[in-house]
Structure 1
């Protein structure tokens, strides 16, 4: 089924999308103008490759034709004929291998039982027994020795390769798993904060095929997860207004797990929508 939108219709959708993006990014852009770093919110713009200007562009997704949309001829992935814009099937064909891999990973994660026992220890393992911490401007809440003791007194079971690869050399052997890029589809699971943050990455990699509303839903999920990720980290971010989730305590573990389950519930329908998008493109 194909939907055709008039210029007035799709321009209205595009304007609403731009307004939503501007509201989401206002703090980041203001800090960027002041050249002010932020250890929590900058992550979505330094770790993930999607730039603010890319987010502001509205994409309707597959099965939608835009009338009087000659401007889309300048955008990669679109074909414009007589002023009517639609996704370019040749671009979809060119990216079939990438779409297939993303679909495999997302579907495998969707089908796997979520795990909720990691307590965010990946962030602690990234600073274990090293003076070279990633956010050196912010102190460790328990100090270096106390942080190391937390790592040594817990079983670490990180399943996410892109978190594990930042573990210190001393921390890697302590992980019960040894994730690799190749084993990612076999290990990734829906309770993992980073796997759920990465829905934003996969939605971005599927642009311009990803409907912009879905992309921004994934962005908002990643933003909220990042906040928990850093509140549960060893860093003391109280001066920024982030109350710590003290995962070294019984109460902190319960708080973390409850939030983790909530994020897994939010991520599941978004992951399913991305799988369905891949199926539509591949079909």
Structure 2
């Protein structure tokens, strides 16, 4: 393994941001240097750096090799999964691309807001009373989730019902978990929802209630989405004007870590 001399931090160039703005996109990047847990990378003639995360070692990479990566999460930092390389491994290889502090991809703000509205619409559809007439299961689920959902299904596992769904844009998805009544922060948990948007990133939601109030907890893993959600707080509360109970909305930001997308908060 070749170790290069220490060099100034190379942030992701602005002209490459758009390439890392879509989760699921795969890119081929060249490794041009290794400095401890930092990789020096090159794409399209532009150089930048990424941090090696978790149990992955610098020895898993080789200077001069081309590695294929998949965008797991956008935002700051961008999270990548290494899906190929000269040395194969069954371990999940995660990289964090270094973005310059304070810089944001403003062009994505409108898309983040659009997906936040999509999530808000889903909240409304889940709480509005539906027609009680007997209908096929698939049609009933589709009506429950609203017309923004393209496909959904239902299955039962470990004492809970799960409803995975895909939105019409075919890039945003999530699932709802309906389980037996459980206590959460002094209330009864109604259901848990995990949502993933192309620009909004990962969002986890808990709906809990008691006789007097409804508690909606939102956990954002994308800093830009979190800041926008705080500004949209009043609009979120207006979604529940139809409820006779007091609504409390708590918005939190969580740091993105390897495995966040598959783990569930408890």
Structure in which a larger fraction of residues adopt helix: 1
Q: TM-score of the superposition, structure 2-length normalised?
A: 0.25
Q: TM-score of the superposition, structure 1-length normalised?
A: 0.24
Higher RCO (C-alpha under 8 Å, 6+ residues apart): 1
